[in-house]
Chain A
Amino acid sequence: MYNAGHYDVIVVGAGHAGVEAAHAAVKRGAKTLMLSLNLDMIAFMPCNPSIGGPAKGVVVREIDALGGLMGKVIDKTYIQMRMLNTGKGPAVRALRAQADKPLYIQEMKYQLEQLDNLTMRQAMVEELIVEDGEVKGVLTETKAAYYAKSVIITTGTFMRGRVIIGDVSYESGPNNQRASIKLAENLESLGFDIVRFKTGTPPRVNSRSIDYSKTEIQPGDDNPRHFSYETTEMIVDQIPCWLTYTTEETHEIINENLGLSAMYSGMIKGTGPRYCPSIEDKVVRFHDKPRHQIFLEPEGRDTEEVYVQGFSTSLPEFVQHKMLRSIPGLEEAEIMRSGYAIEYDAVVPTQLWPTLEVKSISGLYTAGQINGTSGYEEAAGQGLMAGINAAAHALSLETLILDRSQAYIGVLIDDLVTKGTNEPYRLLTSRAEYRLLLRHDNADLRLTKLGHDLGLISNERYESFEQKLAAIEDEQKRLSKIVIKPNDELNAILQEIGETDLKEPLKALELMKRPKVTYDVIERILEEDSSLDIDVKEQVEIQVKYEGYITKSRQQVDRMKKMENKVIPEDIDYSAISGLATEARQKLEKVRPLSVGQASRISGVNPADVSILLVYIEQGQIKRLSEDER
């Protein structure tokens, strides 16, 4: 063993969580080391070649508003960009990009290489150095000891990873990379509560063997938008995806071979996510459905590999060939990589504080799939927060906890550390109580100031953000002063868009509250062509149109905040509180919530327990008060 150096922060792993963690730590001024098993696999996407979508796309924007990398890198490397849910309300619109996988890795690595305070090194971490409940550093396979005040573990699905294809199984990380065995054993010996989760991925096929004429084209948007608030140039040349369907024959093949599936033969013990079922799962559970959608998604511009979305499977390889070839367009398909299931260790996330610091080991953080989540965006969001807080721990800076009304990232982490999860956790818009406030269009309004205060957002960017704020306000003021008078021309426009005639003069801002009167319509009516940025127009329109609902949501948040602001003292002794139900006491002792609000979200803690907790806390305060008076 040799002393390989001292750092402020060490990040173990360089997936989507690891890269954001390292980047954020560096931005906060921490001297940072990032260790990866394979530096060619930085921010590798082992599953679908896409980033964003409902809820997840908002997370990417939140990461960007806090200075993170994901949005910037995907904006430079996408092969297709789409805005989803355009026909629905503003709260659920979301961007999704199809990624160029190899290019994404290359660009991410390049971005990180530019950071002065970051050391990247290829290494397998086998052990944590922990003394007196405090983390001191890590030990690698090659006997290097790295020391740091904070360590972040972002090992994804590598811990005791096991790949399963039919009745074949072997120790492996995703995509046949080395599994991380010793670190898993080390964590167990350090007293971590570990669960076994499972996920899976579909086969990849050679594009040249696909007959696209039998499929439907899925093109990108004509005017693509971007994730990052810093992106100014868009990639116009986009590559389409293709849609086809499974057939009765596919389902027959699956049913005939079900016994050979690792999922049904009992070989897999880990818990899989419901929202990401294998094709055999779909066929069994929804046997009435005559066909399932299959999307063919290119893995990049300079590769012929195509990802068969919707076809995740752990059936034997020979069955996969047969199944695929029963699908229109894939009759001659050549598999390049087989689909597989992967089992891995995850830590029970209720062991973490909302900063993602491990409760039992000071200075140690975990982020990403190791915390029981699934998805690149969920991982990246946690990585960012762990990086911010690990740097704070190392450098004695301010920590950051986002609450449920501030960001999807806040919802994600609060869910994890408060409730835990018994399957790989995926963000859904329905998990957010205040999703109308957590829109993708206002991520910068919600978080840029925070990011700037923490040193993650440059002064230059902050200035342009302030200009945007001012522009939104000015435009609202301007439109609130313009009076639109009814006349034939105006009413012709209104009729054209399916609105009723205007009878009395109305302020432009008020007219925009009508469902079909968009900002563009107002521009048309006023016969002006505003030079304002599309983001500003969008913001003005949304804030005006949905004012009532937004106000209602804000009131809900205010009510919630009353309970969130009731802080539970760190030294609280739950066993000393008479009246708490046993289950509630056990849960409270385990989760150790920071506020009464968080306590009330723990399952098994009922309203009576919350009341008692409130009384107890108040009692403590009175006691302290009377002691002070003495």
Chain B
Amino acid sequence: MMELDTIAAISTPLGEGAIAIVRLSGDEALTIANKMYRGKDLTTVDSHTIHYGRIVEPDTEEMIEEVMVSVMREPKTFTREDVVEINCHGGLASVNRLLELALYHGARLAEPGEFTKRAFLNGRIDLSQAEAVMDLIRAKTDKAMHVAVRQLDGKLSKLITRLRQQLIETVAHVEVNIDYPEYDDVEEMTLNLLKERIALVSDEIIKLLAMAKQGKILREGISTAIIGRPNVGKSSLMNALVQENKAIVTDIPGTTRDIIEEYVNVRGVPLKLVDTAGIRETEDLVEKIGVERSRQVLNEADLILLVLNNNDVLTDEDRQLLEIVRDMEVIVLINKTDLEATLDHDEVKRLIDGKPVVTTSLIEEAGIDQLEQAIADTFFTGGIESSDLSYVSNARHIQLLNQAKQSLSEADMAIDSEMPLDLIQIDVTRAWELLGEIIGDTVQDSLIDQLFSQFCLGK
């Protein structure tokens, strides 16, 4: 039944080029784009026009990107359906966020080759290509299935299966009350009990989604901020990390903000070194934007590298920085060990309380190994298990999890407004189906099987 809904995908190669495009096609392309977009009302603009505007977060209205949006109404489009193309600049992260938003607002992630398939189905592509298209579908669908299944970690699969089992037991309980009203073996399912059971599953899904966010970090790089007073060796650190480890993506200058990002891979941990205000030009984040502002910048980082000077006593500024980062993922570097140690190392360790402290001499290229090890350790032991991360980064899984969460929250709202159980059950069943799509199990007869194995029914 998923054939003719609205689909979305990133239609430019990932990580290449300065412009990325998220493309939507289908009946609801315009309305979905309109929900993400602030600017002209896209549903009323002329066909084949381009509009400037902003893409915003659904709840907070916080701006994600400035974009150019092309609106092309059917039939004169590639797919012969309504098509919207959102052109954006920023890096991988913002393009992905745009796609996620499109999915969040109701689009479905396009299967490989699906735009082409639609173009064909709607008579846009020449007949001679038919065979090729069919081969493409077969190959790509099978491959996509294969990849999707492979991406499924055993742990996730088990967890999803368990959540589905909880849901279907609950649904079966509701169903048995409906189809066998005189059956006295089980108590009537009550709204309170249903609410509890829904909350249990919902909480697990929320946890999974939180993990998915971490998974995304892994794919996109851990956003890493380098901070410290002037002349402690911040640029040397950045250069050392970049030179030591091949940069996987070089400068992607955004057009809206002066961000310079360096992507480096440190012992399997991808880091996105963020130079928020241009460390290389001013050499001093704290000086330029002040402690309060830097606190804000730091809050957005996943990892902080705080550099101190071995050859200097601890200043008030240093103490303030240590205080700010104490509860964050932080590694403290005591640099310039080639010079005399006037810094009280013990005091630093006391102030930072258990966080890793590494001594380096960046000029003599000493201590870099230890730093890299510390980064790897922080990541792999820091409550995030790397093995959990590959799968949750799958956009399709995230979309399905989000939808399942949404269905359960609709069920929860219906409980609060005291709707009848058999109506609330519609949303619970939907959540069960959505979770099933993640693990490729959508057999509809399961409910009836469950009904008869769970309860002793019949005349």
A binds B: yes
Flag the segment in B255-263, B298-306, B412-420 that touches A.
B412-420
Provide the bound-state CA to CA distance between A430 and B183, in Å: 16
Q: Total interface residues on B, using CB and 8 Å?
A: 47
B179 contacts A54, C-beta separation under 8 Å: yes
New A-B pairs, 4, CB < 8 Å, besides A276-B459, A429-B179, A597-B1: A89-B420, A91-B422, A429-B422, A622-B127
Contact flags (1/0) for B439-451 with A, using CB distance below 8 Å?
A: 0000100011001
* Among B127, B417, B457, B459, residue most surrounded by chain A Cβ atoms (within 10 Å): B459
- Assembled-state Cα–Cα distance A181/B188 (Å): 47
Q: Is B142 an interface residue (CB 8 A)?
A: yes
Q: Which of B120, B417, B422, B459 contacts A615 (CB 8 A)?
A: B120
Residue-wise, chain B 420-443 has the 8 Å CB interface mask toward A (1 for contact) of 111100100000000000000001
A560 at the interface (CB under 8 A from B): yes
Q: Please give, as numbers and ranges, the residues of chain B lying within 8 Å of A91 by CB-CB distance.
A: 422-423
What residue of chain A has the Cβ atom nearest to residue B4's Cβ? A562
Contact B177–A88 (Cβ < 8 Å): yes
Tell me, yes or no, whether A477 is within 8 Å of chain B by CB. Answer: no
Contact indicator per residue, chain A 264-287, by CB within 8 Å of chain B (1) or not (0) = 000000000111110000100110
CB distance from A78 to the nearest CB of B (A): 17
Tell me if B130 and A48 are in contact (CB < 8 A).
no
Does residue A503 face the partner (Cβ distance < 8 Å to B)?
Answer: no
Whether A515 touches B418, Cβ cut-off 8 Å, given contacts A562-B4, A619-B130, is yes
Which chain B residues border A202 with CB–CB below 8 Å? Answer: 459
Q: B185's closest neighbor in chain A, by CB?
A: A289
Say yes or no: A84 contacts B181, CB within 8 Å: yes
The listed residue (A92, A312, A546, A612) touching B178 by CB distance below 8 A is: A92
Interface string of B1-27 (1 = CB under 8 A from A): 111110000000000000000000000
**Do B452 and A560 touch across chains, with their CB atoms under 8 A apart?**
no
A431 interface residue per 8 A CB criterion: yes
Contact partner, B117, options A553, A562, A611, A623, Cβ 8 Å: A611
Given A579-B138, A615-B137, A618-B120, A85-B181 contact (CB < 8 Å): yes
Name 19 interchain pairs, CB-CB below 8 A, sorted by A: A54-B179, A89-B420, A276-B459, A277-B457, A428-B179, A431-B448, A515-B417, A549-B423, A563-B1, A578-B131, A578-B134, A579-B134, A596-B3, A608-B142, A610-B3, A611-B3, A612-B134, A614-B121, A615-B137
B281 at the interface (CB under 8 A from A): no
Interface residues of B (CB under 8 A from A): 1-5, 117, 120-121, 123, 127, 130-131, 133-135, 137-138, 141-142, 145, 175, 177-185, 417-423, 426, 443, 447-448, 451-452, 456-459
Contact: B185 with A611, CB < 8 Å? no
Given A88-B420, A91-B422, A563-B1, the answer on whether A285 and B121 have CB atoms closer than 8 Å is no
Shortest distance from the beta carbon of A288 to any chain B beta carbon, whole Å: 10
Q: Which range contains the number of A residues in contact with the other chain?
A: 35 or more
**Residue on B with the closest CB to A96?**
B181
Q: Cβ of A530 < 8 Å from any Cβ of B?
A: no
Q: Are A607 and B448 in contact (CB under 8 A)?
A: no
- List 3 tightest A-B contacts by C-beta distance, closest first: A89-B420, A608-B141, A286-B456
Taking CB as reference atom, which chain A residue is nearest B443?
A603
Q: How far is the CB of B337 from chain A (nearest CB, A)?
A: 61
Instruction: Tell me whether A515 and B419 are in contact (CB under 8 A).
Output: yes
C-alpha spacing A293/B142, complex, angstroms: 50
Q: With A293-B184, A619-B127 in contact, is A274–B452 under 8 Å at CB?
A: yes
B182 near A293 with CB under 8 A, answer yes
Minimum CB–CB distance for B415 against chain A, Å: 11
Supposing A48-B459, A89-B423 touch, asked if A622 and B123 sit within 8 A by C-beta, the answer is yes
User: Is A616 on the interface with B (CB-CB < 8 A)?
Assistant: yes
Q: Is A630 in contact with chain B by the CB < 8 A criterion? A: no
A202–B417 CA distance with the chains assembled, in angstroms: 44
- Measured between alpha carbons, how far is A515 from B424 in the docked complex, in Å? 13
A13 on interface, CB distance cutoff 8 Å = no
B317 to chain A, nearest CB (A): 57
Which of B1, B422, B448 is in CB contact (< 8 Å) with A88? B422
Complex alpha-carbon distance, A92 and B137, angstroms:
42
The B contact surface, by secondary structure, is helix
Taken together as a complex, chains A and B put the C-alpha atoms of A436 and B424 apart, in Å, by 11
Q: Are A312 and B459 interface neighbours, CB within 8 A?
A: yes
B5 pairs with A559, CB closer than 8 A? yes
What B residues does A232 contact at CB under 8 A?
Answer: none
- Beta-carbon contact of A615 and B117 below 8 Å: yes
B459-A292 in contact (CB<8A): no
A84–B180 Cα distance when bound, in Å, is 9
Q: In chain A, what residue has the closest Cβ to B456?
A: A286
What residues make up the interface of A, taking CB atoms closer than 8 Å to B? 47-48, 54-55, 84-85, 88-92, 202, 273-277, 282, 285-286, 289, 292-293, 295, 309-310, 312, 428-431, 435-436, 515-516, 546, 549, 552-553, 559-560, 562-563, 577-579, 596-597, 600, 603, 607-608, 610-612, 614-616, 618-619, 622-623, 626
Asked if residues A89 and B419 are in contact (CB atoms below 8 Å), the reply is: yes
Q: How far is the CB of A67 from chain B (nearest CB, A)?
A: 28
Q: Which of A295, A435, A546, A579 neighbours the largest number of chain B CB atoms within 10 Å of its CB?
A: A579
Per the bound structure, the CA–CA distance linking A123 and B415 in Å amounts to 58
Complex contacts, A623 vs chain B, CB 8 Å: 127
The distance in angstroms between the C-alpha atoms of A360 and B426, with both chains bound, is 39
Q: Which residues of B contact A276 (CB under 8 A)?
A: 458-459
- In the complex, the answer to whether A611 meets B137 with C-beta atoms within 8 Å is yes
Q: Which residue of B lies closest to A427 (CB)?
A: B179
B379 to chain A, nearest CB (A): 38
Known: A85-B181, A579-B134, A615-B133. A429 touches B175 (CB 8 A): yes
Known: A84-B181, A515-B417, A618-B121. A285 touches B456 (CB 8 A): yes
Q: Are B179 and A615 in contact (CB under 8 A)?
A: no
List residues of chain B with CB within 8 A of the CB of A48.
459
Q: How far is the CA of A286 from the CA of B422 in the complex (A)?
A: 26
B395: min CB distance to chain A, Å = 18
How distant is the Cα of A54 from the Cα of B135 in the complex, in angstroms? 47
Residues of B within 8 A of A597 (CB): 1
Cα–Cα distance between A47 and B178 once the two chains are bound (Å): 22
> Chain A nearest CB: distance from B153 CB in Å?
23
CB neighbours (8 Å) of A615 from chain B are 117, 120-121, 130, 133-134, 137
Query: What B residues does A47 contact at CB under 8 A?
Result: 459
Nearest CB of chain B from residue A435's CB, rounded to whole Å: 8
Report the Cα distance A600→B4, complex, angstroms: 13
B117 pairs with A89, CB closer than 8 A? no
Min Cβ gap A498→B in Å is 9
Q: How far is the CB of A518 from chain B (nearest CB, A)?
A: 13
Identity of the chain B residue whose Cβ is nearest the Cβ of A616 in the assembled complex: B134
Residues in chain A near residue B417, CB distance under 8 A = 515
B456 touches A560 (CB 8 A): no
Q: Which residues of A contact B448 (CB under 8 A)?
A: 428, 430-431
CA distance A282 to B138 in the complex (A): 47
Measured CB to CB, the nearest residue on chain A to B440 is A606
Task: Closest B residue to A597 by CB, please name it.
Answer: B1
Contact of A614 among B3, B141, B145, B443 (CB under 8 A): B3
Contacting residues, chain A, for B3 (C-beta < 8 A): 562-563, 596, 610-611, 614
**With A275-B452, A293-B183, A612-B137 known to touch, is A626 a contact of B120 (CB < 8 Å)?**
no
A277 to B455 CA separation, bound complex (whole angstroms) = 12
- Cα of A616 to Cα of B130 in the assembled complex, Å: 8
Neighbouring B residues of A84 by C-beta, 8 Å: 181-182
Q: Is the CB of A275 within 8 A of B457?
A: yes
- Distance A16 CA – B40 CA, assembled complex (angstroms): 63
- A286 — which chain B residues lie within 8 A by C-beta? 456
Cα distance A428–B448 when bound, in Å? 9
Q: Which residue of A lies closest to B449 (CB)?
A: A274
Q: Are A92 and B422 neighbours in the complex by a CB distance under 8 Å?
A: yes
For the complex, what is the distance from the CA of A562 to the CA of B133, rounded to whole Å?
Answer: 22
- Which one of B5, B117, B179, B181 has the greatest number of beta carbons of chain A within 10 Å? B179
Contact (Cβ within 8 A) B458 A88: no
- B residues near A295, Cβ cutoff 8 Å: 182
Q: Which of B141, B183, B421, B459 contacts A89 (CB 8 A)?
A: B421
Q: Are B423 and A546 in contact (CB under 8 A)?
A: yes
Across the interface, do A430 and B451 meet the contact criterion of CB distance under 8 Å? yes
